[in-house]
């Protein structure tokens, strides 16, 4: 039974099976298993992502609370406002240790556009007209500022 071509086909089949076995063996190694679990999760999310193509929704799903805070701030800003960015340590301590990037000048600029911002340490911080503080329940509260004394009061609050 079988000539040289059949033998070649059998060898090819055997090698294909070995390839599949090797691949299966590699997938069982712990780190690879974790990686493939990630990949499987990406595939599992695909139908949901396919249905949610809106750009803003995609941004929200990725940047979570960072974007949520900025959207809240953006809705309250008025032309001419200079926003006082709370310091990262304050935000990490009172708001969220993970989603704190929204108080970085570049992040703010990237997400919200060209709103003038200052940080508490900037020389021009006294010009600030508004800011956000975090209340006792960890929620951001937009505040209007009325002059350098107010800015100084907030500087002290941010240091708490």
Binding residues for another protein (CB under 8 A):
1-2, 4, 7-8, 10-16, 18-20, 22-23, 26, 29-32, 34-35, 38-39, 42-43, 46, 49, 55, 58-59, 62-63, 82, 101, 104-107, 109-110, 114, 116-119, 122
**Per-residue tokens: 8:** 């070649």
User: Which CB sits closer to another protein, 117 or 129?
Assistant: 117
Which is nearest to 157 in space by CA: 130, 128, 120?
A: 120
User: Which CB sits closer to another protein, 7 or 135?
Assistant: 7
For 95-159, the three-class secondary structure string (H helix, E strand, C coil) is CCCCCCHHHCHHHHHHHHCCCCEECCCCCCHHHCCEEEEECCCCCEEEEECCCHHHHHHHHHHHH
Least Cβ distance, residue 132 to another protein (angstroms): 16
CA distance 74 to 115: 9
Least Cβ distance, residue 92 to another protein (angstroms): 14
Least Cβ distance, residue 49 to another protein (angstroms): 6
Least Cβ distance, residue 137 to another protein (angstroms): 27
CA distance 85 to 139: 15
84: DSSP letter: E
User: Which CB sits closer to another protein, 58 or 159?
Assistant: 58
């Amino acid at each position: 039974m079988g000539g040289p071509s059949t033998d070649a086909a059998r060898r090819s089949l055997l090698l294909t099976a070995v390839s599949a076995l090797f691949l299966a063996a590699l997938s069982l190694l712990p780190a690879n298993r974790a990686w493939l679990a990630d990949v499987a999760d990406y595939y599992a999310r695909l139908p949901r992502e396919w249905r949610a193509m809106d750009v803003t929704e995609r941004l929200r799903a990725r940047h979570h609370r960072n974007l949520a805070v900025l959207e809240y701030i953006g809705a309250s800003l008025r032309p001419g406002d200079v926003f006082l960015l709370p310091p990262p340590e304050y935000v990490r301590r009172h708001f969220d240790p993970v989603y704190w990037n929204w108080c970085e000048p570049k992040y703010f600029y990237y997400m919200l556009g060209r709103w003038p911002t200052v940080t508490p340490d900037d020389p021009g911080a006294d010009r600030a007209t508004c800011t956000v503080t975090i209340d006792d329940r960890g929620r951001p509260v937009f505040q209007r500022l009325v002059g350098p004394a107010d800015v100084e009061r907030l500087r002290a609050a941010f240091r708490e």
